[in-house]
């Protein structure tokens, strides 16, 4: 039985990764899971310099999901390189660094710094709904997305995954723009912009007013968008949005994802990533599937 | 023992004041639970995903039992109040740093608990007494329902303050310090933010170390999501931006470290 998948020439031992921002730098969950058993670890978004992030409250629970407005707090690329990458290098798993910025120059600086590291791939977050300037603007207009993708591709030494926002009218247009600009892969979905109001205090639940919705509540939207994006482009797609079980993950694979990531459900079940990986194998055995590739895009039309 | 998500069994649960519940859980996590740490308690309702942070009120390490005392504050805690003995429940723990018992070594410790911040003072008083101290405990209640007072009296002298004056001294924990002429060499406290701010100011004025247990909305509880931060006065080693994570760097901080 083969669970390996290849994305832009990089081989993953299984198609299960962590979703950026939900797994720290891997260290925080290494008490719970053996990182060697994951296809890949995707780190929290990192910028050229440290970012403060937003004021608290930054998180709020909603029906079957949660809102977050962390505001991409991060210690900056220097700390990631000095502290987090050596930690991750101890494990036999692929390392993907998620990159954020407020201007194209910010992104390029991080991408260049990562050029001399052992990082396997870069994931470019052009879709965070929680940062006032930059970030999402690049991900909501196809021409901006094309521009930033092509400029990053010129500088990047590693394969580039463009992480798409679901907060757009037509996801296929964005997927095609990233592909045309040379992206090696796509990942989606980032969070859906939402809002929660405390009716007793008459205040917003989040200090930022709006936040990104994630968790099981968004899964059907994510499956639909992954299906659409995967059918619009030839490059591989990494699917995420509410995945907490192998059944969830297999839905994404059948919809066309070449790999999946577990996000908010890590908070519900810190063992979720490994359980998803094991559950995919159980499913493959049950249906006599020899190669996980048979599942990718395998939904009957 | 590292952090775990584990199944615990409800040993017993009773209501000890209006909306306040006292629950014992059978769990191996008790073996490494210390004062000021907390657990995440998961609602069974699948639509409510996140663990509810609840402080350790008492840890019976030999018996493998944890006691939590909580107030019904919303739908999650409302569900917990309906749990019966024998039922199995999911918890995450043990989380957070806890109170620094050694910082009270040889000093007169005054413990201050306000409202639902009183429960962690019980395990703290127990540990301080076991370490040879004689803690003074000030419990601030809203009204005359003096939950946990008898339990606290096993480990130190207890003073009571109530907002409405229906029991003990009318006022707050600091009114008790003043009116009873008490002197602290180290303060350890948990309670609502206005109380903690006042204690920080009091500690600064009297030049005494004050350890405060802070609260914030949490998602992961293990330091991964950066949801639960508080402003710190110095750049901490993890965030590099004056934002400590209450769930892992705290919940207990020395008052001078935090900008509250
Ligand atoms: C470190 C720590 C220790 C705590 N210890 C205790 C304790 O010993 N006893 C006790 O009664 N309460 C304690 N609390 C507060 C307790 O976590 C909340 O009252 C509880 O989460 C409310 O959940 P709910 O589902 O009933 O409320 P809801 O309002 O329905 O909860 C919705 C969401 O908001 C979160 N939330 C709501 N209020 C708070 C709050 N005050 N602090 C943090 N998150 C909140 C919930 O966890 C949940 O994710 C503690 C909080 C922290 C951070
Ligand atoms: C607390 C939190 C922080 C996040 N931080 C980032 C981030 O730094 N960069 C990024 O590209 N996506 C970030 N995301 C989005 C997730 O990676 C993921 O795309 C989204 O949450 C949907 O997946 P889920 O429903 O499994 O969580 C974050 C999500 C959460 C819940
Ligand atoms: S709750 Fe996630 S970092 Fe503290």
Q: Taking 70 as the threshold, does the pLDDT of residue A136 lie above it?
A: no
The pLDDT value recorded for residue B46 is: 94
- The angle formed by the CA atoms of residues A37, A39 and A44, to the nearest 5 degrees, is 105
Q: Distance (Å) from the C-alpha of residue B205 to the closest C-alpha of chain A?
A: 28
Is residue B51 domain-shared with residue B135, that is, in the same domain?
Answer: no
What pLDDT digit, counting tens, does each position of A6-22 carry?
999 999 999 999 999 99
Which of B95, B122, B149 is the endpoint of a domain? B95
Size of interface A-B (CB pairs under 8 A): 110
pLDDT tier at A141, thresholds 50, 70, 90: confident
Is residue B148 domain-shared with residue B254, that is, in the same domain?
Answer: yes
| Burial of residue B145, with CB atoms counted within 10 A of its CB: 0-12 exposed, 13-18 middle, 19 or more buried | middle
Is residue B132 domain-shared with residue B172, that is, in the same domain?
Answer: yes
Distance A22 CA to ligand 2 centre (A): 6
The pLDDT value recorded for residue A105 is: 92
Is residue B90 domain-shared with residue B130, that is, in the same domain?
Answer: no
Is residue B50 domain-shared with residue B143, that is, in the same domain?
Answer: no
Is residue B137 domain-shared with residue B75, that is, in the same domain?
Answer: no
Average pLDDT over residues A174-190: 98
Is residue B70 domain-shared with residue B8, that is, in the same domain?
Answer: yes
Domain that holds residue B63: 4-95
| Nearest alpha carbon, ligand 1 atom 25 | B76
Q: Taking 70 as the threshold, does the pLDDT of residue A130 lie above it?
A: no
Which of B41, B69, B95 is the endpoint of a domain? B95
Tell me how far CA of residue A103 lies from CA of A47, A111, A126, A188, B141, in angstroms.
Answer: 10, 13, 10, 21, 52
How many domains would you assign to chain B?
Answer: 2
Question: Residue B236 sits in a domain of what CATH number?
Answer: 3.40.50.80
Is residue B122 domain-shared with residue B177, that is, in the same domain?
Answer: yes
Calpha distance A203→B36 (Å, rounded) = 30
Is residue B105 domain-shared with residue B43, that is, in the same domain?
Answer: no
Calpha distance A29→B181 (Å, rounded) = 48
Q: What contacts 24+ positions apart, CB below 8 Å, involve A33-37?
A: A33/A270, A33/A271, A33/A273, A33/A274, A34/A274, A35/A88, A35/A91, A35/A93, A36/A91, A36/A92, A36/A93, A37/A93, A37/A273, A37/A274, A37/A277
Domain that holds residue A102: 5-53+71-196+213-294
pLDDT tier at B240, thresholds 50, 70, 90: confident
Q: Taking 60 as the threshold, does the pLDDT of residue B189 lie above it?
A: yes
Nearest by Cα to B70 from B111, B16, B34: B16
Residue A234 domain flag: yes
Average pLDDT over residues A53-79: 97
Is residue B21 domain-shared with residue B37, that is, in the same domain?
Answer: yes
The pLDDT value recorded for residue B241 is: 87
Question: Residue A237 sits in a domain of what CATH number?
Answer: 3.20.20.70
CA-derived radius of gyration, chain A: 18
Across the interface, do B222 and A31 touch by the CB < 8 Å criterion? Answer: yes
Residue A129 domain flag: yes
Share of chain A above pLDDT 90, in %: 93
Q: Taking 70 as the threshold, does the pLDDT of residue A132 lie above it?
A: no
Tokens of A164: 């798409």
CA-derived radius of gyration, chain B: 18
The pLDDT value recorded for residue A127 is: 72
Is residue B141 domain-shared with residue B238, that is, in the same domain?
Answer: yes
Residue A271 domain flag: yes
pLDDT tier at A133, thresholds 50, 70, 90: low
| Nearest alpha carbon, ligand 1 atom 10 | B70
Query: Which residues in chain A touch residue B222, judged by CB atoms under 8 angstroms apart?
Result: 28-29, 31-32, 270
pLDDT tier at B252, thresholds 50, 70, 90: very high
How many domains would you assign to chain A?
Answer: 1
Q: Taking 70 as the threshold, does the pLDDT of residue B237 lie above it?
A: yes
**Predicted structure pTM score:** 0.97
Q: Is residue A144 among the annotated active site residues?
A: no
The pLDDT value recorded for residue A261 is: 98
Question: Residue B11 sits in a domain of what CATH number?
Answer: 2.40.30.10
Is residue B185 domain-shared with residue B255, that is, in the same domain?
Answer: yes
The pLDDT value recorded for residue A135 is: 55
pLDDT tier at A2, thresholds 50, 70, 90: very high
Distance B138 CA to ligand 1 centre (A): 23
Among the ranges given (A277-291, B182-196, B215-229, B236-250), the one the predictor scored with the smallest mean pLDDT? B236-250
């Amino acid at each position: 039985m083969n669970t390996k998948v290849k994305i832009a020439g990089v081989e993953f031992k299984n198609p299960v990764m962590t979703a950026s921002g939900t797994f720290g730098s891997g260290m925080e969950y290494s008490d719970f899971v053996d990182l060697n058993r994951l296809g890949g670890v995707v780190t929290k978004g990192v910028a050229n310099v440290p970012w403060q992030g937003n004021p608290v409250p930054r998180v709020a629970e909603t029906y079957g999901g949660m809102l977050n407005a962390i505001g991409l707090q991060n210690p900056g690329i220097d700390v990631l390189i000095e502290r987090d990458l050596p930690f991750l290098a101890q494990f036999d798993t692929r390392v993907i660094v998620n990159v954020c910025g407020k201007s194209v120059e910010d992104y390029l600086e991080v991408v260049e710094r990562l050029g001399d590291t052992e990082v396997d791939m870069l994931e470019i977050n052009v879709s965070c709904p929680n940062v006032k300037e930059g970030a999402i603007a690049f991900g909501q207009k196809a021409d901006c997305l094309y521009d930033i993708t092509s400029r990053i591709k010129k500088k990047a030494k590693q394969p580039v995954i463009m992480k798409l926002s679901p907060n757009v009218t037509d996801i296929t247009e964005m997927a095609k723009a990233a592909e045309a600009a040379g992206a090696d892969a796509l990942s989606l979905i980032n969070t859906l912009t939402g809002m929660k109001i405390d009716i007793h205090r008459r205040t917003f639940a989040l200090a930022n007013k709006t936040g990104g919705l994630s968790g099981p509540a968004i899964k059907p939207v994510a499956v639909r968008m992954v299906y659409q994006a995967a059918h619009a482009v030839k490059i591989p797609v990494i699917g995420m949005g509410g995945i907490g079980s192998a059944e969830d993950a297999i839905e994404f694979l059948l919809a066309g994802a070449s790999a999946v990531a577990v996000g908010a459900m890590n908070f519900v079940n810190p063992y979720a990533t490994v359980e998803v990986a094991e559950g995919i194998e159980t499913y493959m055995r049950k249906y006599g599937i020899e190669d996980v590739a048979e599942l990718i895009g395998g939904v009957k039309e | 023992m590292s952090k775990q998500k584990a199944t615990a069994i409800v040993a017993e649960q009773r209501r000890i004041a209006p909306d306040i519940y006292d629950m014992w859980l059978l769990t191996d996590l008790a073996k490494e639970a210390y004062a000021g740490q907390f657990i995440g308690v998961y609602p069974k309702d699948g639509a409510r995903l996140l663990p509810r942070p609840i402080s350790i009120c008492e840890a019976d390490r030999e018996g493998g039992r944890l006691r939590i005392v909580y107030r019904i504050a919303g739908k999650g805690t409302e569900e917990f109040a309906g749990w019966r003995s024998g039922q199995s429940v999911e918890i995450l723990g043990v989380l957070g740093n806890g109170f620094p018992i050694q910082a009270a070594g040889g000093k007169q410790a005054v413990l201050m608990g306000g409202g639902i911040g009183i429960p962690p003072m019980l395990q703290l008083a127990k540990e301080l007494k076991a370490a040879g101290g004689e803690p003074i405990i000030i419990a601030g209640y809203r009204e005359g329902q003096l939950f946990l007072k008898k339990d606290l009296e096993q480990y130190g002298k207890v003073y009571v303050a109530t907002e409405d004056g229906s029991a003990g001294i009318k006022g707050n924990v600091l009114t008790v310090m003043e009116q009873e002429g008490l002197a602290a060499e180290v303060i350890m406290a948990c309670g609502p933010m206005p109380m903690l701010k006042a204690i920080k100011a009091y500690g600064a004025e009297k030049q005494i170390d004050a350890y405060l247990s802070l609260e914030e909305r949490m998602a992961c509880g293990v330091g991964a999501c950066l949801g639960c931060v508080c402003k710190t006065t110095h750049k901490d080693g993890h965030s590099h931006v004056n934002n400590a994570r209450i769930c892992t760097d705290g919940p207990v901080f020395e008052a001078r470290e935090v900008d509250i």
